[in-house]
Amino acid sequence: MSYLTKSNQLFQALEIDFEVVSLNQLDNYTAIEYFLTLEDEPPENANNLQKINRYLQVFHHLCEVAEWQKAGQVLSFCYSSKELHEQLRIWGYYRKQIELYQQLLGKLNDEQDIICLYGLGRAFYNLSDYNQSRIYYQKLLNLAKLINNRQAEAFALGGLGNIQYINYNFDGAIASFQKQLDIANEICDDEQKGYALRNLGYVFYFLGLNQGKYNYQQKGLHYLEDALEEAYQLDNQELESLSIDHITTIYFNRGQYNKSLTYLFRQLAICQKNNDKRRQAAILENIGKCYMMLKQCDQALKYSQEALIATQDIGDKWTEAKLLNDLGVIYCYQLKQYQEALFYFEQASTILHKLNIEGHQSVCAVNISVCYSYLKNQEKSVFYINMAKSLMTELESVETKGILIMSIANSYWLRDKIWYKAWGILLAIKALMIIPPWRSANGRLAMQSAIKQIFGR
C-alpha cells in the first residue's frame, strides 16, 4: 500500500464525490483536490503559516460551497499532535483563528459552536480584547448550560475567571475557578481539574501578595503544586509549563532568582521545541525580571527585548504593556537612565489606558512620577502621583499602595528643603512596613530606594 501524506489522508476523509458536484461548484472542489493531492509540499524553510496554507485554502473553499460539516473536519484535522485550530493558537495566529471560527459559528450544530465560542473567547483574550472575550465566554456558558455540556461550562468559567483576575476582581475570579474545579471533579475530567487548580493557585497567591495575607500565598502555592502533579500524571506539557511559570514567580518574589532561572530555562526549551510563541514570550519576560533583580542588566535587557518582540508579533497588548514597564524599571531603578525609562513607561501607560486596566495604570503612573522626580521636574512628578492615587482609590492592593508611598517619598527626598527630606525618609520607612523586602520583589526594590535616600548610595 502506498504511503499517504497528511494532506492525502484529509482528502480521503472528506469523501468528495465529484459525480454529484454541481457545475457552479466544480471550481471550488477542483481547488480542494489540487491543494490536498497535487500541490507541492512546502519547502523546509517555510514559515508556520506557509506550512498549513493548503488546509486554510481548503477550509475557505468548503465554506464557499456551504460544506460546513467538511469545513469542521478541516478545523479539527490533526496537522501534528494538535488539531489545526489549536496549532494556530500555539503558533500565535490568533487573528487567523478568529477568522476561521467566525466563518463556522452558527453553521453546523451546538457541539461545533462550543468549539468556536471557546476558541473565540481564548483568541480575543490572547489579543487583550477582554470585552470581546467576555462576550464569547458568556455565550459559551449560556449554550453549555442550555445543552447541559458540563465540560464546556467549565471551560467558560475558566475563561471568565481569567478576565475577572486581569481586572483585579479576585473574589469573582476565585468563585469562577472554584465552580470550574467543582465541575471537573463532578465529571471526572482530570485535565480540566489541573487547569482549575492552576487558576486557583495563581489567583490565591497574587491575592495574598497584594493584600499581605501569607496564608493565601501558601494556599496558592499548594494549588499550583497540585496542578503540577496533575500535569505530570497527564503528560500535559502546556499545563506543566503554566504551573511552573507561576511557581517560579513565587520563588522570584521570595528572592530565589537562580532557582527561578533553573525552572524557566527548562520550560523555555520545551516551548521552543513545541514552537509555542505565547509561552516563550511569557518565559522570556520572567527570565528578564530575574536577571534585573540579580543586577545583570545586559542579560535583563536582552531577554526582555526578545520577549517584547515575540509579544508584538502575536499581538498580545497586555503582555506588551507589562514588558514595556519591565524595560522602564530596568532603565529607571538599575541603570538610572530616567529619560530612557520614561520612553518605555509612557508607551506602557498608553496601552494600559486603551485596555482600561486601572490597577496596572496606577503602577505605571507611579513609575513615571519617580522618573520625573529624578529629572527634577516636580510639577510632573506630583501630577503623576495624583493620577496614581485617583486610579488606585477602589483597589485593595497593598503592593500598589506601598509602591505609591515609596514614589511620594522619592519625590519629597529630591526637594531642596530639609523638612521635605525628613518627610521623605518617614514615608520610605512606612512603605517598607507595607511591602517589606522579604515579601516580594517590589519590597526589595523599595528597600534599595530607601537605602539610597537615607545613606545616599
Cell numbers for 6: 497528511
Q: Look at residue 42 and give its three-state secondary structure.
A: coil
Displacement of CA 262 from its chain's centroid (Å): 21
Give the separation between CA 306 and CA 284, rounded to whole angstroms: 7
- Mention every residue, 6+ apart, whose C-beta is less than 8 A from residue 452: none
Residues 6+ apart with CB under 8 A from 94: 88, 123, 124, 126, 127, 314, 315
* SS percent in the chain: helix, strand, coil, step 5: 80, 0, 20
C-alpha separations of 424 from 205, 276, 390, 406, 432 in Å = 31, 46, 21, 8, 12
Per-residue pLDDT in tens (0 to 9) along the chain, 457 residues? 345 688 999 999 999 999 899 999 999 999 999 999 988 888 888 888 898 999 999 999 999 999 999 999 999 998 877 899 999 999 999 999 999 999 999 999 999 999 999 999 999 999 999 999 999 999 999 999 999 999 999 999 999 999 999 888 999 999 999 999 999 999 999 999 999 999 999 999 989 888 878 899 999 999 999 999 999 999 998 899 889 888 998 888 888 999 999 989 988 988 888 888 888 998 999 999 999 989 999 999 999 999 999 999 888 998 999 999 999 989 988 899 999 999 999 999 999 888 877 667 888 888 898 899 889 898 898 898 888 878 766 666 777 778 778 877 777 777 777 887 888 888 888 888 888 877 777 777 777 766 665 555 4
C-alpha to C-alpha distance for 41 and 62, rounded to whole angstroms? 21
Secondary element (H or E) of residue 172: helix 170-186
Question: Nearest 5 degrees, angle CA 332-CA 333-CA 334?
Answer: 100
Query: How many residues does this entry show for the chain?
Result: 457
Q: In sequence order, which residues have a C-beta less than 8 Å from that of residue 326 and are 6 or more positions away? A: 285, 288, 289, 292, 304
Q: Are 169 and 130 in contact (CB under 8 A)?
A: no
Q: Across the strands, what pairs with 83? A: 78
- Rounded to 5 degrees, φ, ψ at 78 are -80, 95
Boundaries of every domain in the chain: 1-107, 343-391+398-457
